[in-house]
Amino acid sequence: MNSNPRPLWLALGAGAMLALGGLGWLARDLSAQPSGGQKRPTLLELLEEVRQAPPAPEPGRRAAPGPPAHRPWQSPLRASCAPGDTAQRLRLQQLAERVQSSPARVQIHPTNFGERFNRDAYGNPVDPTPQLVVLHETVYGIGSAINTFVTPHPRDEDQVSYHTLIGGDGSVVQVLDPSKRAFGAGNSAF
């Protein structure tokens, strides 16, 4: 039986070179001093920097763009809600009486919401008062949404929240104070 040890030695040599290169890289990173003799910011310091509102722009700054041109929106339900349709009005009034007047409240995990920004992406002041209602449909219902919101989500791409949930039975649950920023709200400036 004649076996050639050359491929084995080549593999061992390549592995040793890779290991030495990795150790050299690690030693360089551990011993390197940042320029200027200052220590590198920690991950928490970098996250705090990102959380801060952008600084006010210099004089002569670029103004935030206006909304895109669009046709005025008209509800497709407008015709079915005409004041002359008394049967429809009576049915809607009966439904409104069954809806609870004060929503239940659930406290969601702090990783799933933030503070509203008081400046837009261009540094211009923004009134953080809510002025827009965004409706979403959830696939698995109100219970699943609440479970998602009360669960910690430290990764940005997993964070999600709404302000108020309305169940299929008309139940209303407020999960986030309107003064806070639900994730998915962009810069809170529309």
Per-residue pLDDT of 67-125, as tens digits, reads 788 888 777 777 766 667 788 888 888 877 776 667 888 998 888 888 887 787 788 88
Q: Phi and psi (nearest 5°) for 108? A: -90, 165
| Alpha-carbon span 15 to 23, nearest angstrom | 12
pTM for the complete prediction? 0.47
How high does pLDDT run on average in the chain? 78
Question: 3-state class of 14 per DSSP?
Answer: helix
At residue 33, the pLDDT reads: 57
Confidence band for 8, pLDDT divided at 50, 70 and 90: confident
Residue 6: half-sphere exposure toward Cβ, Cα within 13 Å: 2
Determine if residue 149 is left, alpha or beta; phi over 0 gives left, psi from -120 to 50 gives alpha, anything else beta: alpha
Average pLDDT of span 18-27: 85
pLDDT reported for residue 38: 67
Which residues on neighbouring strands pair with residue 104, listed in sequence order?
173
Judge whether 176 and 163 are in contact, CB under 8 Å: yes
Q: For the residues 128-149, what does the mean pLDDT come to?
A: 82
Average pLDDT over residues 30-52: 70
Segments of 42-98 assigned E as strands? none
- Hey, which of 2-6, 155-159, 177-181 has the most confident mean pLDDT? 177-181
- What pLDDT score was predicted for residue 100? 62
pLDDT for the residue 70? 81
Checking 91-98 for CB contacts under 8 A at 24+ apart, the result is 95/170, 98/170
What's the pLDDT at 154? 85
> With 70 as the cut, is the pLDDT of residue 155 above it?
yes
Q: Count, in order, helices (H) and strands (E) of the chain.
A: 4, 5
